[in-house]
Each structure stands twice: as structure tokens, then as C-alpha cells.
Chain A
């Protein structure tokens, strides 16, 4: 779609959310840079399920900040990169598509999916005709003379598979790219982090990432992130992390109890992650139930 810049991974930003559309980039992010993200693409044939999801990969805002800051990725303004095509461009694109379709080789018998042999096909046809006859006999007692009879179904069905490309070439696409976060912020494409809390989250996330941890969304466990010692496909998380943006920010004992109970019930420790803006340091405290009392 667009040339990569210095081997960096493009993060397509739309409405302040970053997506990765290339499966190779998703694999690189996970295996090389231990950034997992979340797959958010539904399946065309099963759009109302969320067990099996595909591209695009959606990244946490902290992941985006980290990857751009480390020079691993750059930001693409997806909305601005897609201009409205002119009539001429559309005609050219359509012509190109027709030429590509015309070049497809004619289907030979070897390329067709395996079909039933004649005898099996004949038997299947007989079974189907018998079933249809039974159905018709049943319906004739219910169907009025005005109602049309249902048509017989086709006996030969072949399946085809289509590859839906994740990217395509458009002449009206011109990537608007930003190498640094400041550039993206100036143009209004990306604004995270904006508040002291968001700054603290980014710094703590970066510190945990540098220590080799994998992070995932911690909403289900009452924290900001789940912290894994390795790939989430191989390990359970050990910690639920919550960021405290200032060393003097009030923490209520009832919160300690909530963190401790939830962590212990799920065999994790709750991690209080502090960021000191003055000293530019992170600090960590782990909470779990004492086991007595």
C-alpha cells in the first residue's frame, strides 16, 4: 500500500485509534517487540461472534506512543490519506480490475474441488428427489392452488473460495505519515498523552516494556493492564497493574482491599505503579492478601 519508512511499521490512525493492517507487521510486533494489541476484525460469514477475530489489530494508546518513540513504527493519518477519487481514476481502476479478471486462467478439471463420481452423484440425486417428493406431498395438503410450489434445489453444488485482500492499490491513496509524536500532535492526528495521568501511564508502560513484560488490557480485572511474564498465548498474567500518577495522590484503604481481594481471587498480585514526575522515576508495590486475619 505504501512504502515503509526505514523498515518501520505503519500504524493507521483513524479517530485517534491506531490499527495495523498487515499480518506480517502483527507478527513482528508480537514476536520481536512483545506488543500484542487486540484483533478487532469480525469474520464476514460470522459477524456477530467475537471468539474468532482477525485483522485489523488495534493498539492501546500507550503501545502507539511506545512504538513511535522507540522508532519501531510511524503514524499514518488514514482519513487524510484517502482522497476522493476522480472519475478518471475510477475508470482506470475499474479497467485494471477487469483486465486482472480476464487474465485469470480458465478453470480446469484439476483445479476444481473434487466432486462426487457418477454413481455417488446418481444416488445422491435419487435421495434428494425422494425427499423433495415427500416434502411436496406434505405441502400439497397445506398449499392453496394460488401458492406457487417451491423450486427444486440444485443437485450439484461446488464450493469456491475467495481471497479478500487486506490492502489494495488505489491511485487516489497518498499516505500522510508522521515519524514523531510531536508532528502527529501538531497536525491533530494523535494527541495522547495529554494529561498528567496519561503521561504517567505512558512512562510506566514503557518501563514495564523495557523489563520484558507483555501487557494487555486490564479492564476485566479492575486495573489498567494485565502484565504477563511472556507471550499471553503461553502464560497467565502474574499482575494486574494500576498506575498512580503522583507519589502524593491519595489511595484509600478500601481500594487496597479491593485490589488485594481481586488479585488474590484470580491468583495474581495487584501492582501499584507510581510515576514521580520530578524525579522521573517509576516505583512499584505489589499487593496480595496476607493469608491470615
Chain B
């Protein structure tokens, strides 16, 4: 986390905030930081509490600028085949240290009942 925070200083705050939240509050397992080189930003990979399959989480702040091209990058990251490849979590942080998580799925995916 520290290495990538140094590499991407503009995303360092979001990265550490989300890492701490996932690791300590959400109790995810095996949370590691990964480099989304193509998107020029860091992300996190880990296993959600109570779920055996890993997922990618991309931290961003409220002032960030996203796009559909940007949304494509996390789905191209190589990771173990048993991990979730059809969706990622977008962790949106704000200056009051709160964060919200939204599920971004690739394609037309029906809402869960």
C-alpha cells in the first residue's frame, strides 16, 4: 500500500482510507494493493467477509473524473480464475472520511432480489 501510495500520491489518501476500512471494519481477508497501470491508479484485491471468492475494489474520491473507458481497466486485471471477473466494487471516499461502495458489473446484470 505504501509503495503504491508513493507512486500515485493523488490517490494515496483514498487508497489508505479504503484499505483500512476493508481490513479493519469490513474484515476482508488477504487484502493487497495492486497497480492498475493502464488506468494510472492503484486498486485493492481481497476476499470479502463470509465469501471465499476474491474481488477487486477501486478507490476514488468524489472529485475524481471517471469514464466508461476507465471502467474497463479493472476488468482487465489478471487475477486467479476463481475470483470475481464480472464485477468490481467502486469505493468512493469523501473528505469527511466516509466511504461508500457500489458494485459495478460488466454488462447488463439484473439486480439481486
- What residues make up the interface of A, taking CB atoms closer than 8 Å to B? 211, 238-239, 244, 246-254, 256-257, 260, 263-264, 267-269, 271-272, 274, 283-293
Contacts and interface: CB of A to CB of B under 8 A. Distances in A.
Contacts, number: 102
Interface string B68-104: 1101100000000000000001111000000111111
Give the interface size class of chain B. 20 to 34
A293 B21 contact: yes
Contacts of B62: 252-254
Nearest to B60: A253
Nearest to A289: B102
B66 A251 contact: yes
Contacts of B72: 283
Contact of A290 (B69, B101, B106): B101
B69 A271 contact: no
B60 A285 contact: no
Majority SS at the chain A contact face: mixed
Nearest to B66: A251
A257 B60 CA distance: 12
Given A257-B92, A267-B111, A287 B102 contact: yes
Contacts of B20: none
A253 B60 CA distance: 8
Given A253-B62, A257-B92, A285 B105 contact: yes
A249 B102 contact: no
A288 B26 contact: no
A237 to B, nearest CB: 10
Given A256-B66, A263-B111, A271-B108, 12 more contacts: A246-B68, A249-B67, A251-B65, A252-B64, A253-B62, A253-B92, A269-B110, A274-B68, A285-B105, A286-B108, A286-B111, A290-B103
